[in-house]
Amino acid sequence: MERTRDDTLYPPIEPYESGMLDVGDGNLVYWEVCGNPDGKPALVVHGGPGSGSTPRSRRYFDPDRYRVVLFDQRGCGRSTPHASDPATDMRHNTTAHLIADMERLRDHLNIDRWLLYGGSWGSTLILAYAEEHPERVTEAVIPAVTTTRRSEIDWLYRGAGQLFPEAWAAFRAGVPETSDPAGLVAAYARRMESEDAAVREKATADWCAWEDAVLSMEAIPGPPPYGSRPGREQLALVRICSHYFAHGAWLEEGRLLARAHRLTGIPAALIHGRFDLAGPLITAWELDRAWPDATLTVIDNAGHMGGTETRRAVLAALDGFARRG
């Protein structure tokens, strides 16, 4: 299918197949497939963690050439149990669990190898999966590169406060029980486990206000990306985010960069905005140097959420890999 311009998404499409995959521990993961049943397999790995998949992601893929799989990671979107429910046990929601879920989904759909697409937290999960199962990955397209090192988490929830001191002061004030600025994420994670709904809701609002502040310099049309989410989705997002980041995503510091040599032979397009304040460019630059078959494209006028030039680069990469077969 042809697009009218090189920055235009493909027309909306609907899934031709969907279901709930039992991944164990009482969890059911929602999945869907759209595009060409005989096309090149591709998996969309959403961000957050805890954002859930969106219909817009389907439109980056040529529906004539791709068999596109989307899924909602544990605890969010249409997967159950939902993290907005305080009774949901978060012990069974870790990076290792998500990697295993992806493998179970691949096997369930009888896919041998697939392209991986996703940014922000999605890029961390892509890297963790691909380094564990490089034989299952054909290519990767990664905008807004992150590896969720503790240093990256510290920048986002403490270091960036140097640029937005008023908003960060409000974020810090949301957890007065901790006097250590480095402990804010863990303090928010504890608040999201409170039995008091008002405590969880206040922590969610404070967290989302800070995330929106970090993105406030980007020209994002419409309402703020975090504060405008429905309440149930906000609660799940913040609970999952704080849970993962308080534990450093259960990854040894620097592990994904140190093991990038395992990705040798997997072509990748890394696309990153120079003015990404949520995930500074240095991480993408370091990954490009460590991954022999990756190519980094820096978008000079973009941030974390991207824009026209970022969209154009993602579409070009996906179209190019589709032609590769």
Q: What is the DSSP string of 219-274?
A: ---SS-TTTTS-HHHHHHHHHHHHHHHHTGGG--TTHHHHTGGGGTT--EEEEEET
Helix (H) or strand (E) holding 17: strand 17-24
- The number of helices, as runs of H, and strands, as runs of E, in the chain is 10, 8
Angstrom distance (rounded) from CA 198 to CA 203: 9
Summarised one tens digit per residue, pLDDT across range 5-56 is 777 899 999 999 999 999 999 999 999 999 999 999 999 999 999 999 999 9
Cα–chain-centroid distance for residue 179? 30
pLDDT value at residue 30: 98
DSSP of 25-39: TTEEEEEEEEE-TTS
Average pLDDT over every residue of 97-114: 98
Instruction: Give catalytic residues, as residue numbers.
Output: 120, 276, 304
Q: Contact, 238 vs 208, CB < 8 A?
A: yes
* Residue type present at position 104: R
Angstrom distance (rounded) from CA 101 to CA 20: 12
| 258 pLDDT more than 80 | yes
- Least Cα distance to 7 among 317, 316, 318, 218 occurs for 316
35-68 as b/e, with b when 16 or more CB fall inside 10 Å? Answer: bbeebbbbbbbbbbbbbbbeeebbbbbbbebbbb
Choice among 9-23, 159-173, 221-235, 267-281 with the minimum mean pLDDT: 221-235
* Residue type present at position 185: V
Summarised one tens digit per residue, pLDDT across range 53-101 is 999 999 999 999 999 999 999 999 999 999 999 999 999 999 999 999 9
Q: Contact, 276 vs 304, CB < 8 A?
A: yes
User: pTM of this prediction?
Assistant: 0.97
DSSP of 87-139: TS-GGG-SHHHHHHHHHHHHHHTT-S-EEEE--THHHHHHHHHHHH-GGGEEE
pLDDT value at residue 237: 98
pLDDT value at residue 179: 86
What are the residues facing 43 on neighbouring strands? Answer: 69, 116
